[in-house]
Amino acid sequence: MVRVKETTCPICGGNLKYYDSVKRIVRSKGRSTKWVYIRRLRCCGCNTLHRELPDYIFPYKQYEAEVIKGVLSGVITSDTLGYEDYPCEMTMFRWRNSQNLQSLL
Ligand SMILES: [Zn+2]
């Protein structure tokens, strides 16, 4: 998993070369979804495939970063208009207790 425009492998420091692109669905506010293309890069040193992730996509999360930040900072709760049942209470609970997510903010 690397950031866009990253050119070195986070594992071995080797050069990353374009490998292919994969489609990925992103869920957004108001229940809308959109497909985005994620580029995969292969390391010339250790041959590991890395996905290039745009800033608005958090690793393994299908919600936009903006929504996750809103939940973590307390701006968005289950009572917030427009977010009543989205994301669900359990999902928000997991986010608040995820050290990984907290460290990304
Ligand atoms: Zn490597």
pLDDT digits (tens, 9 = 90+) for 27-50: 766 677 778 888 999 999 999 999
- Interval between CA 82 and ligand 1 midpoint (Å): 43
Instruction: Report residue 34 CA to chain centroid gap.
Output: 14
Strand partners, 21: 39
The per-residue pLDDT for range 50-84, each reduced to its tens digit, is: 988 776 665 545 667 777 788 888 777 766 656 55
Please say if the pLDDT value at position 15 is more than 90.
yes
- Interval between CA 39 and ligand 1 midpoint (Å): 16
- Interval between CA 98 and ligand 1 midpoint (Å): 28
Please say if the pLDDT value at position 91 is more than 80.
no
Which tokens hold the place of 94? 């997991």
How much is the average pLDDT of 90-103? Answer: 73
Whether the predicted model's global pTM rises above the 0.85 cut: no
